[in-house]
Structure 1
Amino acid sequence: MKTNLFRKPIIWIVIVAVAVVSAIYAFNNFDKANPIVGLDIKMNRETALEKAALLAGESLLGPLDYKTAAVFTNDNSFQNFVELEAGGLEKFTEVLETGLYSSYNWKVRHFKEHEPNEVIFAFTPAGEIYGFSEKLADSEEGAALEEEEALRIATDEAQKHWNVNFTGYELIEKSKEEVESGRIDHTFVYERQDKQIGEGRYRLQLRVSGDKLTRVKHFVKIPEEFGRRYSEMRSDNDTVALFGTVGLVVVYGLGGIFIGLFFLLRRRRLIWKPAAKWGILIALGSIFLVTINEIPLSWFSYDTSTSAGNFLSSSIINGFLLALGMGSIFALTFMVAEGLGRSAFPGHVQLWKAWGSKTGGSLSLLGQTMAGYLFMVIMIGIDVLFYVVTKRYGWWSPAGNLSDPNILASYMPWFNSIGISLQAGFWEESLCRAIPLAGIVLITRKSRFKNWWIVLVLVAQTLIFGAAHANYPQQPSYARIIEMIIPFVIIGLIYFGYGLIPAIIAHFAVDVFWFSLPLWVAESPGIWTDRILVLLFLFVPLWIILYFRIKNRKWTEVPDELRNSGWEPPSEPEEKVQKEIEVQPERKSYARFLIPAGIVGLALWLFFTPFTQDAPKLDISKEKAVEIATKVLNERFNVDPEEWTVLTGMTDNAGLQHKFIWQEAGKENYEIYLGGFLSPPRWSVRLVKTEGKVEDRAEEYIANVDVEGNLRGFSHVIP
């Protein structure tokens, strides 16, 4: 069946009307559907860098001849805590407005290659200094002050230079550490007594290294119980996402791609060259070029113990290798998706010929392209409606901030929204729409239950797709699945009628809308260049069609030979019968030495390899270790093992300390320290609760038993 949207004007009338209504509804209700943090960012990246440089010079902080990196961050743990258990979004916004705690911060890092000394400055969105943290090498000399003198320096410097007001704060913790050089580092923690946020406590940490203030840090002490409850909540999201990922890998990957590939090869219907080209190009754009584009941000996580050149080259090489690997997966997906679609839907335009000179200026392609953009608007309207409704029933997703200054730190702020969206639109529609839907059409072509199977798979593909995207922090855990049912059933129906092109365009355009939003609320020199580039690349499919329309000087129709029904497999090559020629293999003179050489090599390996271990062997049985551990725990804590679940594991902490002693002190000293300062292999026995409240399950008992059956330590973890 030939498909042309313009042959039925009523369809266009309905689509345009629904799109207009969706646009109006989304515009009027966007802030109601998507909780937005009202954040006024007055400081930009350049100002943050300038102010950090000024502070570093005035206070002599950080290395000389430093490099810089800047990021805009948010304390997500604090935001989630407040939104879920300490007053909701309104309370979170109130905290930001009153300045009790600045969850959002600019952070500027000054660092130097091969130097441990570095400093990070924090600023509020309004541009006020909000603390700093300087890292000094343990070998750097400094004073060994008494606690009182260190505390005086900390409070005086914090008030004088770092905008700290101690009103309402009380000192609750203090500690000290003597480092390698003999310098003593003091740490002081203050807690605000007149204000708190739910069960959370506003705190201030000060650190004095020698006689120098090296840290001023504002933070909120969040209850451990919330962390456990939130982790449990997120584990539900991850579990749903795991099922979705298994569906993608097993059903679409093993079942769809490999069986589909076998089917297409057997029928000689596989077209691989354009699929390989598109797969590699999309991977290079969405992975490799995005990696390069984000290099300015990546310096914030650079480990100065390694060379800057190695860090940069490894980032680029890893991005390139990842792009090649994913490009292969993309290419296989595109091959199978296009081939199955070509076999299942004879009326569709051939995907790889869609934007050629004979089809690019056709009314069919114009209609499919415009429909893709209109359905983008409809999908956004559906999304807004979904969140407006579900918010009334207490469904939760964290509030966002439309402005993301980090996007302006990349080399090309416009590029990521285009590259990532193209990958998602092309690959996900090929994998999650084309392969299952075209596959079920082919499988059930002669079945009298064909329509029932198609409806079942149409719904199932949305469930798998939604589940695979469910690892976002949302509640309930199945929210993402419900959210995607209607829009992606619609996309599935679009695919049935018109193929991949409108489905890809709609998906691509929706993602561009969301990813590029920060560009439309940001204020920065040259921002309009990025906005224009986003629009130009967003509408590339339309520009192609208009180009061919102008070139052809008229609207055309897609020729029958360029529809799927007009494609024919290449003819089989004629087999040429050749006279068999008997060839005698030439025997090499060295072949007779291979077996003896192998035997000699094996003997040398057996003789020179020391089949011994330097740590004592763990001969004690698991049962004996459990008996010893539970007996001790019962005596110490009066705990009945029968009321707990007993978990065991063998532990061998042969970490950095072991390597240090072995390399610096030698084997003999290593054996002396082993069992003393160095832990030998041991059994770890845990008593835990697997049922009940999160707080109850957080309590546990741990005992370690060494190779000789001696207790190596025990602990009682209290929530």
Structure 2
Amino acid sequence: RADHTFTWKLRGFDVEGASYRLRIAVHGDQIGGFSEFLKVPEAWERDYEELRSHNLATGLIASFFLVLTLLAMLVVFFVNIRQRDIRWKTAVIFGGIAFVLTLLANLNNLPVTEYAYETTETYGSYLTNQLLVSLLSALAQGLFILFLTAAAEPVYRRAYGDQIRLNEQFQPHGMRTKRFLLGTVLGLTMTAFFFAYQTIFYLIAEKFGAWSPAQIPYDEMVNTYIPWIMVLLIGFLPAVSEEFISRAFSIPFLQRYLKSRWAAVVISALIWGFAHATYPQQPFFIRGLEVGIAGIIIGAVMLRWGILAPLVWHYTVDALYTALILLRSSNSYFVISAALSAGILLLPLLVATLIYLRRRFFVDPTSMLNRADSPPLASEQAPEAGELLPPEAQLLRELPDSVLANYRPLSGSRLGLAAVIVAVFASLLFLEVERPLQQVDFALTSDEARQKAIEHLQASGTQPDTFHVAVFQQHQPDGDAIKYILERASIDRVNQYYTQDLRASLWMVRFFRPLQKEEFWVEVDPQNGEIYSVRHLLDEDAPGADLEEEEARIIAEEHMRAYGLDPDAFELKQSSSEKLDARRDHRFIWEAREGDPRNLDELHFRCEVRIAGDQPVALRRHFKLPEAWQRERDESTTLQATLGGLRIALIVAVALHLLYLLIRQVRSGGISWLSLIKIGTLAGLVVMLGFLNSLP
């Protein structure tokens, strides 16, 4: 059949250069699609991307310091494992809550993810994959929260001895203390204060040119059966992760080395605040400043009243933001469930208040304070100076005699069998196996390719010295096309295609100017230095001719001939045009005719040419694979998904077991950290050198 796509622009409708567009697709004689959209000017989009780049760069810098914080937490985590000073039960509880909430939210989101269901897999395979992804993401989230809790809790406990221990905060006796009542009330009060603070902050900032975009109150969670699960999740995860990283850990950790409490509060608050700079508020620093100031206040609250008030505040703020769409709904179920989820911390507050009103006294918190926690178990006595042993020897010395007595070395026959097996598999490395595309020869260096591209642009009337130039290697092969060819022909046929008709690799020479749309991409053959193709990107407002299709087609065919392609050997499969304000662009796709040696069964060789005004701006050669073959390759059954899931489950199980062994080794002091640090430093330097080497 023949398919068509039509796009109309509404006359007389203009919003600061944006236009209303209506698009209809026709498949044969049937309507195949309908859409309407606002076409935003390309210049505005580029300006906005440039504006947003400052936000992203600021957020990236802050994220770098957050990564350093996480590395510090990792070091402290292992130190506390060695000192046996981690309260694993507390960490497991927080991690378990994160796991359960994430898993429930993922499963609850299945009705939404079903819209992305690919019909190349069975429905059973789809469900299996979704369940597996849900389980793995929940496990990862749970382990991350477990790690943060295990790393932050000992630091917080040691630094603030007069505060109630984290594991006692939500215990029944902990909720009966005056501190719990005050902390919860303070956290809820801070929620109202924060909303007022944000409003006043941006009202004042607006006077100085700041801008905070309106948010559309819509979220896919309303399409789920239990939308309030997302309210609980979005309230819990940021509250626990951010408060543990930026408050419970960072403030006492920085205070220890800076010797200044308020410097620690301000620095940790600014890192946390500017990590939010990626939000669209303008100027780029305003969101970081807003959140950073709030972080200083929250840090001061933690120093005075402990971590409970910040946790209550953070949970309630994020939960309320998430629940707004539900609270504004006319659906009673949405409103009630969202209110209960966002205000869930009112329940323990209500219970604590009722208990106090009934008994007229608070529980004494002395036994629950951090300083009352039992000291860590004493580590094994270190050997005398003359008895220092390597970790391996120390582990052997610590093993029970029964274990050593039961050890039996491998017999000679087993060692011989192992040697034979290793030799057989090692010999496979020396087998010569013919592989496709091994004949690629980079006879040209990158500098020579650059010069070839410069000469070509100069010959076409372009001044390349006004552009920045970057050169890199581009691998061209289509993996699916190669598989299709190998199913029907030999490796020689693949090599033939990628030497005569296509190229396996090319030197890509890019000419560009910062903050400008126009650029050139020149593709140079690395074997003979020929120009394989040139792509010229133009701004949509760049002026040009307004040609009819036949006129543009003649130019496109001449462009094909210039690159050694005979238009008579092709038939036109697709053509389209777009009328811009200052020119008309055209796009043509040709396909090699039946019987052409560049085709193979249902694999067809194609050539695409783009015309901007009256200038050819792109030529691309490629293979068109049959859709039926692609769908068959992408098919997935429940059995395949299950086997893939079992493989991943095995990998996860091995990883968790290795983590368990690592923790045991750290606790027993059986790890030579100096050697590991040297190896890690060397590996990091190699990676850094590789990155710096790739910058050109």
Determine if the TM-score, normalized by the shorter chain, exceeds 0.5.
yes
2: CA distance, partners of 1:363 / 1:381: 27
Decide whether aligned partners of structure 1 residues 396 and 308 sit closer, same or farther in structure 2, where only a CA change above 3 A counts: farther
* Mapping of residues 274-423 of structure 1, within 5 Å: 274-285=90-101, 287-402=102-217, 404=218, 406-423=220-237
Aligned equivalents of 2:54 and 2:361: distance in 1?
Answer: 53
**How far has the Cα of 1:554 moved from its partner?**
3.9
Please tell me whether the aligned partners of residues 432 and 461 of structure 1 are also in contact (alpha carbons under 8 angstroms): yes
Asked if structure 2 preserves the Cα contact closer than 8 Å seen for 1:704 and 1:711, the reply is yes
- 1:671 to 1:456, Cα distance in 2 relative to 1, 3 A: same
| Deviation (angstroms), 1:349 | 0.8
Alignment CA distance shift 1:672-1:610 (3 Å): closer
In structure 2, the residue corresponding to 1:526 is in which secondary structure?
helix
1:227-280 CA-to-partner distances (Å, cap 9, x unmatched) read 222222222221111112111111x2112x123224434554321222122113
Distance (whole Å) between structure 1 residues aligned to residue 313 and residue 502 of structure 2:
60
Deviation at 1:628, TM superposition (A): 1.6
* Residues 1:658 and 1:548: Cα distance change in structure 2 (over 3 Å): farther
1:554-565 equivalence runs, <5 A: 554-565=360-371
| Separation of aligned partners in 1, 2:11 and 2:347 | 59
Which runs of structure 2 are paired with 1:191-230 in the superposition (5 Å)? 191-230=9-48
Q: Deviation per CA, 1:144-187: give whole Å up to 9, x if none.
A: xxxxxxxxxxxxxxxxxxxxxxxxxxxxxxxxxxxxxxx11122
Contact 1:186 1:209 in 2 (8 A): yes
Is 2:108–2:226's contact at 8 Å kept on the other side of the alignment?
yes
Give distance in 2, aligned partners of 1:419 and 1:716: 48
Whole-angstrom CA distance in 2 between matches of 1:613 and 1:554 = 84
Contact kept? 1:645, 1:687, Cα under 8 Å: yes
Q: Is the 8 A contact 1:647 1:686 kept in 2?
A: yes
**For residues 342 and 57 of structure 2, what CA distance do their matches in structure 1 show?**
38
The 2-side partners of 1:616 and 1:325 are apart by 42
> Residues 331 and 709 (structure 1 numbering): CA distance in 2 closer, same or farther, change over 3 Å?
same
Q: Is the 8 A contact 2:449 2:529 kept in 1?
A: yes
Q: Could you tell me how far 1:682 is from its partner in structure 2?
A: 0.9
The structure 1 residue matched to 2:476, chosen from 632, 642, 653, is 653
Corresponding residue of 1:712: 532
| 2:32 counterpart SS class | strand
2:12 alignment partner, SS class: strand
Partner residue of 2:549? Answer: none
Partner SS for 2:34:
strand
3-state SS, counterpart of residue 304 of structure 1 = coil
Provide the C-alpha distance between the structure 1 equivalents of 2:360 and 2:79, rounded to a whole number of angstroms. 40
Contact 1:364/1:557, CA 8 A, preserved across alignment: no
Task: Provide the residue aligned with 1:249 in structure 2.
Answer: 67
How much does 1:505 deviate?
0.3
1:518 counterpart letter in structure 2: I
> Match for 1:629: what amino acid?
A
Spell out the pairing of 1:445-464 with structure 2 (5 A cutoff).
Answer: 450=259, 453-464=260-271
Counterpart Cα distance in 2 of 1:205 and 1:580: 80
**Structure-2 separation of matches of 1:244 and 1:699:** 32
Aligned to 2:464: 641
SS of residue matched to 1:712: strand
Alignment-derived partner of residue 625 in structure 1: 449
Q: Which moved more, 1:509-518 or 1:573-582?
A: 573-582
SS in 1 for 2:13: strand
Does the aligned pair in 2 maintain the 1:425–1:508 contact within 8 Å? yes
Do the aligned residues in 1 keep the contact of 2:83 with 2:376 (CA within 8 Å)?
no
Q: Summarize deviations over 1:96-136 as a string: whole Å, max 9, x none.
A: xxxxxxxxxxxxxxxxxxxxxxxxxxxxxxxxxxxxxxxxx
What is the Cα deviation at residue 303 of structure 1? 2.0
2:240 paired with 1:429: no
**Letter matched to residue 233 of structure 2:** G
What amino acid is the match of 1:537?
I
d(CA) in 2 for partners of 1:633, 1:572: 74
Instruction: Give 1:175-190 correspondences, 5 Å limit.
Output: 183-190=1-8
Contact 2:449–2:524 at 8 Å: present in 1 too?
A: yes
- Equivalent in the alignment of 2:680: none
3-state SS, counterpart of residue 193 of structure 1? coil
| Residue matched to 1:114 | none
Partner SS for 2:86: coil
- Residue 74 of structure 2 aligns with which residue? 258
How far residue 431 of structure 1 moved from its aligned partner, in angstroms, is: 0.9
Give the counterpart letter for 1:410 in structure 2: T
Residue aligning to 1:522: 329
Q: 1:554 to 1:316 in 2, by over 3 A?
A: farther
Corresponding position of 2:375: 569
Q: Which residue of 1 aligns with 2:646?
A: none
Provide the C-alpha distance between the structure 2 equivalents of 1:549 and 1:383, rounded to a whole number of angstroms.
Answer: 34
SS in 2 for 1:204: strand
In the TM superposition, residue 559 of structure 1 has moved relative to its aligned partner by 3.5
Q: Taking structure 1 as reference, are residues 548 and 665 closer, same or farther at Cα in structure 2, changes over 3 Å only?
A: farther
* The 10-residue stretch of structure 1 (318-327 or 375-384) with the greater mean CA deviation from structure 2: 318-327
The one-letter amino acid paired with 1:399 is A
> For residue 294 of structure 2, what is the aligned residue in structure 1?
487
CA deviation string 1:673-697 (max 9, x = no partner): 324543331111111113xxx3xx2
| Equivalent residue, structure 2, for 1:26 | none
Task: State the distance in 1 between where 2:224 and 2:278 align.
Answer: 26
Provide the C-alpha distance between the structure 1 equivalents of 2:496 and 2:345, rounded to a whole number of angstroms: 68
SS in 2 for 1:516: helix
Taking a change above 3 Å as real, the CA distance of residues 269 and 233 of structure 1, as seen in their structure-2 partners, is same
Q: Which residue of 1 aligns with 2:493?
A: 669
| CA displacement 1:167-226 (0-9 Å, x = unmatched) | xxxxxxxxxxxxxxxx11122222223221222222222222212222332222222222
Shift, 1:592, TM fit: 3.0
The equivalent position to 2:341 in structure 1, one of 527, 534, 537, is: 534
Task: Name the amino acid aligned to 2:304.
Answer: G
CA distance in 2 between counterparts of 1:374 and 1:239 reads 34
8 Å contact 1:425–1:507 — kept in the other structure?
Answer: yes
**Structure 1, 326-335 or 582-591: larger mean CA deviation:** 582-591
Q: Distance in 1 between matches of 2:187 and 2:302?
A: 11
Question: How far apart in 2 are the matches of 1:342 and 1:416?
Answer: 31
Q: Distance in 2 between matches of 1:372 and 1:525?
A: 27
TM-score by length of 1: 0.68
Q: Which runs of 5+ in 2 are unaligned?
A: 382-396, 540-696
Determine helix, strand or coil for the equivalent of 1:342: helix
Decide whether the 8 Å contact of 2:329 with 2:335 is kept in 1: no
Residues 290-333 of structure 1 show CA distances to partners (whole Å, capped at 9, x for unaligned) of: 11121111122222222222223222211221221222221121
Which secondary structure does the structure 2 equivalent of 1:253 belong to? Answer: helix
Mind listing any 5+ residue stretches in structure 1 that lack a counterpart? Answer: 1-182, 445-449
Code of the aligned partner of 1:253: L
Instruction: Tell me, yes or no, if the aligned pair for 2:164 and 2:365 is still in contact at 8 Å.
Output: no
Alignment-derived partner of residue 685 in structure 1: 509
C-alpha spacing 1:712/1:306, structure 2 compared with 1 (3 Å): same
- Taking the aligned partners of 1:577 and 1:702, their CA distance within structure 2 comes to 65
The TM-score, its normalising length taken from structure 2, stands at 0.70
Of 233-242 and 674-683, more deviation after overlay is shown by 674-683
Residue 622 of structure 1 aligns with an amino acid whose one-letter code is S
Tell me the percent identity. Answer: 24
1:108 matched to which residue of 2? none
User: Would you say how many aligned residue pairs link Structure 1 and Structure 2?
Assistant: 519
Equivalent in the alignment of 1:586: 409
Asked if 1 retains the 8 angstrom alpha-carbon contact of 2:231 and 2:338, the reply is: no
Alignment correspondent of 2:676: none
Equivalent of 1:607 in 417, 431, 446: 431
Q: Which amino acid counterpart does residue 371 of structure 2 have in structure 1?
A: S
Aligned 8 A contact 2:436 2:494 in 1: no
